[in-house]
A and B are shown apart, each in its own frame.
Chain A
């Protein structure tokens, strides 16, 4: 899943970037508010982490602009200013959560996961879709109680499907959320990955968790009504 990090402190941004990549996210870093706003408008993100004190356009204005345009991307405020006036203003402006610096990376990861799950409509850390259970914290996947071992990319793909159930997802969107921008888009890596994931989740071909919508993309149907 692709995340937008808007943070002007290079070292901190680099640390967050590396940590989130290690935890299977695709990360875009914006160094100022204007770039952040542009990125958020141009690309589809699973969540955005926004520092409040930013050059050019401050975080509060960025959030207000995004919400004003109808964007529903989950936003986590990351700020050194831990006072409540700023926290309340940030949440009122449309942020979904806040984290005060300095913070534990694990805490940041947990908050981001919660925001993504919440946006998909899941209340618990363990996502249940029919016989499939996906623990977003421990990354454990089970089908009908039996554990399924997935590679990083397979897991990323499954999680993205699970977080966007019943919606047709194009190959380009999948690529965006699974790989960095410099990825070779014309290759058939997505199809190969999808085939492997289908075989692991549904070795007998009975569940058919991910269906192909001809000419449009794929739809995750497991646990959906009908």
Chain B
């Protein structure tokens, strides 16, 4: 199969298929040999039986006149029953049939005449085989004797229907098939179980590689059998390389955006002096460029390779931001309550700071006098709530506020994209940012959902 051509049987299916084929060939051959051996045994047994019948008839034969006659006590009851399936007759080359068993009298067909076998056996010899020229399959045994007192060679013919023997053979074959089939099935099941057990490390590896893709793991570990250790090491190296690449990409995006900001500041300030339509166009385009850069920067910030292995308590980070903001917003004299909580979140500290910074600054900006920050554990993770006593955010605008900057439109230029950036970063952690109204303070309530530690 050419590389990358798509469809490929699973290793387990391959091994199972191979086993099934090998098993069928072996069991088939064994069955064939067994069948032949059985057939040979049956034929030998039939011949012995028919010889016994012939010798029995020989025993009841006696001289009568110048001819041979058989006494009626034949010994073998089936010879006396019509259509019993066992028939006998005695003939000579000169006189033809001189005796026939009562069982053959009513039987149709050719019983009573010598079957067209190639030659009669010589005196003292036996012939055994399948009787030719019969309407139903029969075995035939011929035995020729020379009588001391009666002249001529007498041939005793014993014919037996094959059906009973065939039935026996069929039954035996059926038992053989059932027995062999069951053995094969049990063997295949055991083989499958063994394969599952043997393949477990590969499945574990596949599961972890999916985790790698989903960003829930940083590597696939190294607890594998030695046959897989090389592959695992290569995958881990590749993952580390990928992670490095993403970090480099993130840094490059960051550097690019930041190095554009100073010239943009120059352009914006120069544009402030321009008048007329050109000035407007200039300012509008500069604003647009800024929006695009801000948005791309927040997206670059949201590029992550994996959830961090460690978690950090959220409230101390919030408290640190509050202390810093209290300096910048000193003249507002805000009263800020940061609830003491040990709850930790599984988020990179830099990202947590970015999200909380934007959300808490929003509260400092729009709150009047009070801000409250609290944390709660929920089913889906940890919820950090930042509430203020400001005017709040109208329900109709909430969606817009969280998506601002995403379209790079001029309308949103100049307005902060902080909350949208926080929402985007939280989404990269499978979390979310929700805007509501604070029940206790009356202003905006921003609820940030983040993953809890494992």
Contacts and interface: CB of A to CB of B under 8 A. Distances in A.
B32 interface: no
Interface string A74-102: 00000011111101100110011110111
* Interface of B, helix, strand, loop or mixed by DSSP: helix
Given A87-B357, A88-B353, A12 B331 contact: no
A19 B269 contact: yes
Contacts, number: 78
B331 A102 contact: no
Given A12-B262, A88-B321, A105 B328 contact: no
Nearest to B330: A118
Given A83-B353, A87-B324, A96-B327, 13 more contacts: A12-B262, A12-B265, A16-B269, A85-B353, A88-B321, A88-B353, A91-B327, A96-B328, A97-B327, A97-B328, A102-B265, A103-B268, A105-B272
Nearest to A90: B324
B264 interface: yes
B113 interface: no
B350 interface: yes
Contacts of A9: 262, 266
Nearest to B269: A15
Contacts of B325: 91
Contact of A101 (B265, B350, B357): B265
A193 interface: no
9 closest A-B pairs by CB: A84-B357, A102-B265, A91-B324, A80-B261, A15-B269, A101-B261, A102-B264, A80-B258, A88-B324
A214 interface: no
B321 A84 contact: yes
B58 interface: no
What's the interface size class on A, roughly? 20 to 34
What's the interface size class on B, roughly? 20 to 34
Interface in B314-329: 320-321, 323-325, 327-328
A104 B286 CA distance: 12
B296 to A, nearest CB: 13
Given A19-B269, A88-B320, A98 B328 contact: yes
A102 B354 contact: no
B357 A88 contact: yes
A123 interface: yes
Interface in B33-84: none
Contacts of A82: 297
B385 interface: no
Interface of B: 258-259, 261-262, 264-270, 272, 286, 290, 297, 301, 320-321, 323-325, 327-328, 330-331, 333, 350, 353-354, 356-358, 414
Contacts of A95: 327
A185 B267 CA distance: 37
A11 B354 CA distance: 30
B208 to A, nearest CB: 32
A12 B269 contact: yes
Contacts of B350: 83, 85
Contact of A105 (B267, B269, B356): B269
Nearest to A7: B262
Contacts of B357: 84, 87-88
A112 interface: no
A84 B354 contact: yes
A11 B266 contact: yes
Contact of A84 (B268, B333, B358): B358
A162 interface: no
Contact of A102 (B268, B320, B323, B324): B268
A83 to B, nearest CB: 6
B382 to A, nearest CB: 19
